[in-house]
Amino acid sequence: MSSSRLLSPFHRYGKSASFRSFHGQKSAVSVGRSVRSLVGKENRNIRAMSSHQPFLNLDNINPNVKVMEYAVRGPLVIRAGEIEKELEKGAKKPFNEVIKANIGDCHAMGQQPITFIRQVLALVSYPKLLDDKNFPEDAKERARTLLEGCRGGSMGSYTDSPGIEVIRKHVAQYIEKRDGIPCDWQNIVIGGGASDCIKNVLKLLICPINAKQPGVMIPIPQYPLYSASLAEFNMAQVGYYLDESKHWGLTVDELERSVSEAKKYCVPRAIVIINPGNPTGQVLTKQNIEQIIKFAYKEKLVILADEVYQHNIYDPNSKFHSFKKVMTEMGEPYNKMELASFMSASKGFMGECGLRGGYAEVVNMQADVKAMYLKAITAMLCSTTLGQACLDVIVNPPREGEPSYQQFVKEKTEVLESLKLRAKMVADTFNSMEGFSCNPVQGAMYAFPQFKLPAKAVEAARAKGQAPDAFYAFELLESTGICVVPGSGFGQQPGTYHFRTTILPQTDKLKDMLNNFSKFHAGFLKKYS
Instruction: State which of positions 140-199 bind its own copies (CB under 8 A).
Output: 150-152, 154-159, 161, 192-193, 195-196, 199
In 3D space, the residue among 85, 150, 86 whose CA is nearest the CA of residue 123 turns out to be 150
Q: Which is nearer to its own copies, 379 or 455 (CB)?
A: 379
The residues facing 190 across adjacent strands are 359
Q: Which is nearer to its own copies, 9 or 435 (CB)?
A: 9
Q: What is the DSSP string of 197-228?
A: HHHHHHHHT---BTTBEEEEEEEES--HHHHH
In the complex, least distance from residue 140 CB atom to its own copies, rounded to whole angstroms: 13
In the complex, least distance from residue 273 CB atom to its own copies, rounded to whole angstroms: 16
Q: Which is nearer to its own copies, 114 or 467 (CB)?
A: 114
Examine residue 508 and tell whether it contacts its own copies (CB under 8 A).
no
Cα of first residue to Cα of last residue in the chain, in angstroms, is 68
Q: Which is nearer to its own copies, 442 or 501 (CB)?
A: 501
Q: For residue 480, what are the contacts with CB-CB under 8 A and spacing of at least 6?
A: 94, 95, 99, 513, 516, 517, 520
Instruction: Tell which one of 136, 162, 224, 397 touches its own copies (CB under 8 A).
Output: 224
Instruction: Tell which one of 252, 261, 319, 378 touches its own copies (CB under 8 A).
Output: 378
In the complex, least distance from residue 28 CB atom to its own copies, rounded to whole angstroms: 11
Restricted to residues 267-296, the positions that interact with its own copies (CB under 8 A) are: 269
The one segment of 125-133, 320-328, 405-413, 417-425 that binds its own copies by CB under 8 A? 125-133
| CA dist list (Å): 468 to 221, 374, 494, 514 | 17, 44, 12, 21
Number of residues binding to its own copies, judged by CB under 8 A? 130
Quick one: three-class SS letters along 221-288?
CCCHHHHHHHHHCCCEEEEEECEHHHCCECCHHHHHHHHHHHCCCEEEEEEEEECCCCCCCCCCCHHH
Round to whole Å and give the CA distance between 524 and 196. 40
The one segment of 100-108, 308-316, 442-450, 521-529 that binds its own copies by CB under 8 A? 100-108
Q: Which is nearer to its own copies, 46 or 522 (CB)?
A: 46
Note whether 306 and 274 are within 8 A (CB). yes
In the complex, least distance from residue 441 CB atom to its own copies, rounded to whole angstroms: 21
Round to whole Å and give the CA distance between 344 and 383. 13
Examine residue 352 and tell whether it contacts its own copies (CB under 8 A).
yes
Instruction: Tell which one of 25, 187, 222, 234 touches its own copies (CB under 8 A).
Output: 234
In the complex, least distance from residue 315 CB atom to its own copies, rounded to whole angstroms: 26
The residues facing 302 across adjacent strands are 270
Round to whole Å and give the CA distance between 236 and 32. 19
The one segment of 42-50, 243-251, 257-265, 322-330 that binds its own copies by CB under 8 A? 42-50
Examine residue 36 and tell whether it contacts its own copies (CB under 8 A).
yes
In the complex, least distance from residue 318 CB atom to its own copies, rounded to whole angstroms: 26
In the complex, least distance from residue 141 CB atom to its own copies, rounded to whole angstroms: 17
Q: For residue 366, what are the contacts with CB-CB under 8 A and spacing of at least 6?
A: none
Examine residue 236 and tell whether it contacts its own copies (CB under 8 A).
no
In the complex, least distance from residue 514 CB atom to its own copies, rounded to whole angstroms: 20
In the complex, least distance from residue 483 CB atom to its own copies, rounded to whole angstroms: 13
Identify whether 208 is preceded by a cis peptide bond (ω within 30 of 0).
no
In 3D space, the residue among 107, 125, 141 whose CA is nearest the CA of residue 404 turns out to be 141
Q: Which is nearer to its own copies, 490 or 520 (CB)?
A: 490
The residues facing 41 across adjacent strands are none
Residue 51 per-residue DSSP state:
S
Q: Which is nearer to its own copies, 369 or 409 (CB)?
A: 369
Restricted to residues 384-423, the positions that interact with its own copies (CB under 8 A) are: 384-387
Examine residue 10 and tell whether it contacts its own copies (CB under 8 A).
yes
Round to whole Å and give the CA distance between 513 and 527. 21
Q: Which is nearer to its own copies, 154 or 413 (CB)?
A: 154
Instruction: Tell which one of 16, 50, 245, 529 touches its own copies (CB under 8 A).
Output: 50
Instruction: Tell which one of 258, 312, 383, 429 touches its own copies (CB under 8 A).
Output: 383
Q: For residue 303, what are the contacts with CB-CB under 8 A and spacing of at least 6?
A: 270, 271, 273, 292, 293, 296, 323, 327, 337, 338, 339, 340
Q: Which is nearer to its own copies, 278 or 383 (CB)?
A: 383
Examine residue 507 and tell whether it contacts its own copies (CB under 8 A).
no
Examine residue 130 and tell whether it contacts its own copies (CB under 8 A).
no
Neighbours of 158 (CB within 10 A): 10
Restricted to residues 320-339, the positions that interact with its own copies (CB under 8 A) are: 332-333, 336-338
Sign of CA dihedral 105, 108, 110, 115: positive
Instruction: Tell which one of 76, 80, 83, 109 touches its own copies (CB under 8 A).
Output: 109
Residue 273's φ and ψ, nearest 5 degrees, are -125, 130
Examine residue 348 and tell whether it contacts its own copies (CB under 8 A).
no
Q: Which is nearer to its own copies, 141 or 243 (CB)?
A: 141
Round to whole Å and give the CA distance between 448 and 498. 6
Q: Which is nearer to its own copies, 88 or 253 (CB)?
A: 88
Examine residue 263 and tell whether it contacts its own copies (CB under 8 A).
no
Which contiguous run of DSSP H or E holds residue 444?
A: none
Restricted to residues 60-89, the positions that interact with its own copies (CB under 8 A) are: 60-66, 68, 70, 72-73
Q: Which is nearer to its own copies, 155 or 467 (CB)?
A: 155
- Residue 232, CB-side half-sphere exposure with 13 Å CA sphere: 12
Examine residue 525 and tell whether it contacts its own copies (CB under 8 A).
no
The residues facing 249 across adjacent strands are 243
Q: Which is nearer to its own copies, 39 or 252 (CB)?
A: 39
